[in-house]
Structure 1
């Protein structure tokens, strides 16, 4: 699966949201043109509007490392650090599930899971949940990634839906209960900022 970069940005001053978003949108336009870049999804927390999360998918870690070392990236990073605190969580994608191609989806959720027990069992349970969720009317996409070193036992999932009601329906599935039984979870309801994740793969890929 794809190398996944998960960055959490926290505004140092909530009044700087517009300035951050302008710089971020310019940055991702440049990132999208880099070799190995596949897709990204940037969201803003509904509960904490000073917090943004961006998930970026790359073909290989080496592709991202090359970009990371570039002068342009370093320049952008210096600008960001004036406005936000950044937490980086290099991860590896494990599950990718898509709904009907071309369906819009404005309801987004980011789940931060912490697994203290059998991680393979958790991944299997999440894979089963994603398959069940894909059958829910309103499902758009779901991704699960495992933290490589920043969060031992940590997993991050991003789901996108046409409506918040569809997302709630999915959390009432027995398959979701099986996931929740294996991990502690912190769910972040979010709004779309930028990204092309829903175009990342054809339906059923």
Structure 2
């Protein structure tokens, strides 16, 4: 299992951000190895979101984000968020 954790700082319209990320999530749900996705919004900083996505294997996520379908959709976030810094994690303790 691989878990993507990505903090996203919205600098544009939150409504645009939510619409675009919903489209991206719908696309990713169709990709091999996709398990789940959650988007959390900070109560203290309402323009900050944390994305948590689980994949069967790290390679599944890498393949999905390298796809043309993902790249086309994620480009729409330019000007809506600061540059994200996603990273994949694996379980360290049971």
Q: Same fold (TM over 0.5)?
A: yes
Aligned to 1:74, what secondary structure does the other structure show?
Answer: helix
- Identify the residue that residue 87 of structure 2 maps to in structure 1: 89
Unaligned residue ranges in structure 2 (runs of 5+): none
Structure 1 residue runs of 5 or longer lacking an equivalent are: 95-122, 128-205
Deviation by residue 1:87-109 (Cα, 9 ceiling, x = unmatched): 21221134xxxxxxxxxxxxxxx
- Residues 1:54 and 2:51 aligned together: yes
**Where does residue 44 of structure 1 map in the other structure?**
41
Is this contact kept in 1: 2:5–2:51, CA < 8 A? yes
User: For 2:22 and 2:91, how far apart are their aligned partners in 1?
Assistant: 24
Q: Tell me which residue corresponds to 1:79.
A: 76
Deviation, 1:81, is: 2.4
SS at the partner of 1:90? Answer: strand
Matches of 1:45 and 1:87, distance apart in 2? 17
DSSP-derived class of the 1:34 partner: coil
- TM-score (norm. length: structure 2): 0.90
Give the deviation of 1:82 after TM superposition: 2.3
1:187-202 pair list within 5 angstroms: none
> Paired residue for 1:22, among 13, 19, 24?
19
SS at match of 2:3: strand
The size of the alignment, in residue pairs, is 93
Which structure has the larger Rg?
A: 1
Larger RCO (CA under 8 A, 6+ residues apart): 2
Equivalent in the alignment of 1:8: 7
Structure number with higher strand proportion: 1
CA distance in 2, matches of 1:90, 1:52: 17
TM-score for the superposition, normalised by structure 1: 0.43
Secondary structure in 2 matching 1:35: coil
Structure 1 residue 83, shift from structure 2 partner: 0.6
- Cα deviation, 1:95-124, whole Å, max 9, x if unaligned, reads xxxxxxxxxxxxxxxxxxxxxxxxxxxx4x
